[in-house]
Amino acid sequence: MADLVKETKCPVIYNNMLNEKIYVEIKTRICVTQFIFVKSNAERRIHINTNSIKIQHDNIQLPSLVFYIDTMELIPTTCHGLHINKSCELHLRMKIRQRDAETIKAEIANPTSISSDGLLRKFDNFQSCICKMCGEDIIKTKRKFKRVLSLPSDNWQDNTDSWFCHNHGNGKQNGVGKNTSLLPKESDCFVGDNFFMVNEESLKHGIETIGNHSNQVRCRRCRFLIGKAVTSPGKTEDKDAKMVVKLYNHKLKINHSITNSRNPNDSCERDADYFYCSYIMSQSTSYTSFRFVLESDDRQPYALLWLLETTTEVLHLDASRNESPHTPQPIAKILYISCMKGSNKQLFSTWCKDLTVHSITFHDDMCLELLNLLVKSTLKLPVSLQQLDGFQVGYLHRPS
């Protein structure tokens, strides 16, 4: 075990050992790990072995604290960049053993992606569609759709203008507005990249709409937000018209047999993390872009997003939650800056004029949910890593 450092006294002294927190960031492609010891007592010794970190205090009344790290092998003799910053954070970097080359090649060849094709397959012989929070049925059990169709991309109507040199069916001059939506009939299910649309006839009475303006759709049992109403009978001239609902696929669970679990999911927030991360990464791959404008359906700007890294793994080591061993979690690091309430107008305008910037459009509730996840992740980072060039630094958990 290599004794790396005996830390000097810090202006801020923490007497409670349970304040001990370590942030670990692993750069898997270059095999480098950064350690940031966020809080410390006045004096301590840090011992780093190939698979563990031991913190030993000079005060003999305090027991030693050991964190065991899984799935990677540290090289203690490569320690460098040792320093303490103004926030009393101890920083150091260290090499790790190179991972299996085949594993790295597989990660490069098969990036995380999301598409409507994957969701289409979920509706093949499905038995139930339930709320992920409480397990309430949302779609009628064993509902058979006559048509399950994939929707085009969100901006398909704008793209048609580039392909036609004359007036065509999508133009207003033919009586059809540019914002006309494709709506499913009673036995239809239309599938997009991050949602699916069904007619009111396909729903079990497990939902309720909230408000005349937001058209939020929530689970009737637990009031978990699961989608929005696209059309409402009260807003159309057709008295026989049925409500069409857009349901977010990461809010629901689709079971393919009666033996599948109908228990609610305890990790709804992590599932949302996975969904947004997969969606942003797939958009980056599809449009060869790393910068995005986050907008609502009515084109209200919410934030500017910059996909910074997709091959990083993190560990949050905390003395109060010292489970063992600790396994690094894959993440996608994202820079973001809010554009809500007219903030950062000039930067927003500049990005909108840049052809390398792609637009990501979600419903207002989803935009807020994504921003909330990013803000929460920022607060988990050490103070010295929370900002970069005027942007906030956040991350989303990436499916492994």
- Per residue in 237-274, pLDDT (tens digit) is 555 567 899 999 889 988 876 555 556 555 677 889 99
Backbone angles phi, psi at 3, to 5 degrees: -85, 105
What pLDDT score was predicted for residue 357?
A: 95
| Residue 331 pLDDT exceeds 60 | yes
Measured between its terminal Cα atoms, the distance across the chain in Å is: 31
Pairing of strands 357-361, 291-295: parallel
Asked if residue 229 belongs to a domain, the reply is yes
Asked if residue 261 belongs to a domain, the reply is no
| Residue 323 pLDDT exceeds 70 | no
Whether residue 41 is found in the same domain as residue 125: no
Whether residue 14 is found in the same domain as residue 51: yes
More confident residue, 300 or 109: 300
Whether residue 72 is found in the same domain as residue 123: no
Mean pLDDT of the chain: 79
What pLDDT score was predicted for residue 13?
A: 34
Q: Which domain holds residue 275?
A: 267-397
Give the other-Cβ count within 10 Å of 38's Cβ. Answer: 21
Report yes or no: 71 and 327 within 8 Å, Cβ to Cβ.
yes
What pLDDT score was predicted for residue 178?
A: 43
Band of residue 166 on the pLDDT scale cut at 50, 70, 90: low
> Which of 83, 106, 129 is where one domain is finished?
106
Backbone angles phi, psi at 94, to 5 degrees: -155, 145
Global model pTM greater than 0.85: no
CATH number at residue 62: 2.60.40.790
Report yes or no: 253 and 132 within 8 Å, Cβ to Cβ.
yes
Report yes or no: 28 and 311 within 8 Å, Cβ to Cβ.
yes
Q: Residue 357, CB half-sphere, CA atoms under 13 Å: how many?
A: 17
Band of residue 159 on the pLDDT scale cut at 50, 70, 90: low
Domain count, the chain: 3
What pLDDT score was predicted for residue 24?
A: 94
Band of residue 6 on the pLDDT scale cut at 50, 70, 90: very low
The span from the CA of 361 to the CA of 300, in Å, is 9
Whether residue 80 is found in the same domain as residue 59: yes
Residue 231 CA: distances (Å) to CA of 112, 243, 315, 328: 33, 5, 45, 44
The pLDDT tens digits of the residues spanning 110-156 come to 555 555 566 667 776 777 888 888 888 898 877 788 888 888 765 55
Query: Could you tell me how many residues make up the chain?
Result: 400
Band of residue 41 on the pLDDT scale cut at 50, 70, 90: low
**How would you class 370 by CB atoms within 10 Å of its CB: exposed for 0-12, middle for 13-18, buried for 19 or more?**
buried
Whether residue 164 is found in the same domain as residue 45: no
CATH number at residue 240: 2.170.150.20
Whether residue 251 is found in the same domain as residue 275: no
Asked if residue 262 belongs to a domain, the reply is no
More confident residue, 6 or 204: 204
Band of residue 397 on the pLDDT scale cut at 50, 70, 90: very high
Where does residue 68 fall: left (phi above 0), alpha (psi -120 to 50 degrees), or beta otherwise?
Answer: beta
Report yes or no: 336 and 43 within 8 Å, Cβ to Cβ.
no
The pLDDT tens digits of the residues spanning 46-103 come to 889 998 988 887 766 667 788 888 888 999 999 999 998 888 899 999 999 866 554 5
Average of per-residue pLDDT across 322-346: 89
Whether residue 244 is found in the same domain as residue 292: no
| Residue 223 pLDDT exceeds 50 | yes
Whether residue 314 is found in the same domain as residue 370: yes
